[in-house]
Amino acid sequence: MKQFTFSDINRQSGEILEAALIEPVALTKRGKEKLVIITAEKYHQLIGNSRAVAYTLEKAPDDIHNELMEGLDAIIDDSDDA
C-alpha cells in the first residue's frame, strides 16, 4: 500500500487519487496512518452491498429459498449430533 503524508495532498493530489484507483492508499500524519483511500467498489464490498434485497420466505426466488433451507437443515443436523 502506498503512503502519502497529509502535506502531500496539496502537491500530489492527482498522483494520490490515481494510485488509490489501483490500490488502497494510506495518508499519514506525523508518521501514523490516519486515513485510507479506497475505491467505491471496495468500500461497498467491505460494508456489504447497500442494494441488498429482502424477501419473505414464500416470495424468495427458488435458488435463495433452496440455499436457506439447506443452511437450516445443516444447523438442525449439527444440533442433533450434539
Residues 54-68: tens digit of each pLDDT: 777 778 888 888 888
Write down the residue that cell numbers 447497500 correspond to. Answer: 50
Nearest to 9 by CA among 38, 39, 29, 31: 29
Question: Does residue 8 sit in the same domain as residue 47?
Answer: yes
Question: Does residue 42 sit in the same domain as residue 57?
Answer: no
Q: Give the number of domains in the chain.
A: 2
Calpha distance 40→36 (Å, rounded): 12
Q: Quick check: helix, strand or coil at residue 11?
A: helix
Q: Residues 13-72: pLDDT tens digits?
A: 999 999 999 999 999 999 999 999 999 888 888 877 656 677 777 788 888 888 888 888
Question: Does residue 38 sit in the same domain as residue 17?
Answer: yes
CATH number of the domain that residue 25 is part of? 3.40.1620.10
pTM of the model: 0.56
Contact of 8 with 25, CB cutoff 8 Å? no
Question: Does residue 24 sit in the same domain as residue 59?
Answer: no
Show the domain range for 7.
Answer: 1-51
